[in-house]
Amino acid sequence: MREVFLPATLAELWSLLDLHPRALLFAGGTDLFVKMRAGKTDAGALIGLERITSLKEIREEQNDILIGAGATHAELLRHRLISTHLPVLHRALAVLGSPPIRSMGTIGGNLCTASPAGDALPPLYVLRASVETASAAGTRLTPIKDFIAGPGQTRLGEDEIVTAIRVQKPADFNIQHYEKVGQRKSMACAVASLAALIRLDPSGAVQTARLAWGSVGPTVVTDEGLDNFLVGQTLSRETLGAAAEKIRRAVSPIDDIRASADYRRQISGNLLYRLSAAAPAGNDAWNETL
C-alpha cells in the first residue's frame, strides 16, 4: 500500500519531506501517474500539492507577473493577467492536451516534466521567465534556460519544489505568437512548435526578436544569431525564407513514433512563415500553408 499525503501549507510539506525524503510529488498527476502506470517510476509515498493554496496564486508584482506553480492550465487560460499580458503563453496553453488535461495539469508540472514537447516551455523561454524554487531552507530564482537541464531533467534540488514562475510583463511586442504542429488538431504532443515575441518599428522592421522552438532538440531550441539576423528586416517572404534555412541547420531533432527528424527539421523552418501573418495588418501580410 502506498501512502498519499495532501499537505495544506508549505510548512506541512517540509515536515512531510523530512519524514519521507523518497516520496514523489504530484500536482495534477497527468504526467506522473502515466509514468507510474507504465512502471517507469514508483515510490512508497506520494505527496500531492493541490491543497497548498499559495501555489495557485497568479498576481502582479510591480512589472512582474507571478504564476503559482500549482495553477492549472485552465485556471491560467481564464486569468485576465495571462490573456492581457502573456498572449504567447495563453495560445500555448489553449492547445495543450484536452479540457480534462488542462483542468488537472499544472504549469509547474509541465515545467518539471521538462519534455522537449512541453507546450508551456517555448513561451516561457521567450518571456525569459525565472523559476522560483523553495525548500525549508529558503527560496531561489533561476532563469528558465538554466533550470531545464535536458530532456526530462531539471536543476531542482532534492529537497526543493517549484513554487512559482516569474515573468516580466513584455512591453510593446507587436507579435506574441505560438503555434504547434502535431499529428492531430487536438490532444497531440508537438512534432514541432514555435513561440515568438517580436517588436516592430512603425515601418514594419524588426526591432527585437525572441524565438524558441519545441520538439526539435533535446530541449527548447533558441538561436541568438537568428534573433539578431531578423533585426532591421521586415518579415518578408525572403527574410523568413533565409531565417528558415538557418534554423533548419541549427536544430537537432530525432526520429520517433510521432515524426521523422527530417520532417521536424523542415517544419521548424516552415513555422517561421506564420510570423508574417501574425504581424499587424498593413505589414506586408501574406500567408503560407504549412
Ligand X SMILES: Cc1cc2nc3c(=O)[nH]c(=O)nc-3n(C[C@H](O)[C@H](O)[C@H](O)COP(=O)(O)OP(=O)(O)OC[C@H]3O[C@@H](n4cnc5c(N)ncnc54)[C@H](O)[C@@H]3O)c2cc1C
Tell me which residues touch ligand X (CB under 6 A): 24-32, 34, 49, 69, 96-97, 101, 104-106, 108-110, 112-113, 118-119, 156, 161-162, 187, 189
- The rounded distance, in Å, linking the Cα atoms of 71 and 249 is 37
Of 119 and 227, nearer to ligand X (C-beta) is 119
State the residue number with the nearest CB to ligand X: 109
In whole angstroms, the minimum distance from the beta carbon of 280 to ligand X comes to: 29
Q: Which residues contact 218 (CB under 8 A, 6 or more apart)?
A: 116, 150, 151, 252
Of 193 and 234, nearer to ligand X (C-beta) is 193
In whole angstroms, the minimum distance from the beta carbon of 238 to ligand X comes to: 33
In whole angstroms, the minimum distance from the beta carbon of 227 to ligand X comes to: 24
Of 29 and 218, nearer to ligand X (C-beta) is 29
- The rounded distance, in Å, linking the Cα atoms of 188 and 191 is 8
Of 162 and 244, nearer to ligand X (C-beta) is 162
In whole angstroms, the minimum distance from the beta carbon of 105 to ligand X comes to: 3
Of 67 and 197, nearer to ligand X (C-beta) is 67
In whole angstroms, the minimum distance from the beta carbon of 219 to ligand X comes to: 13
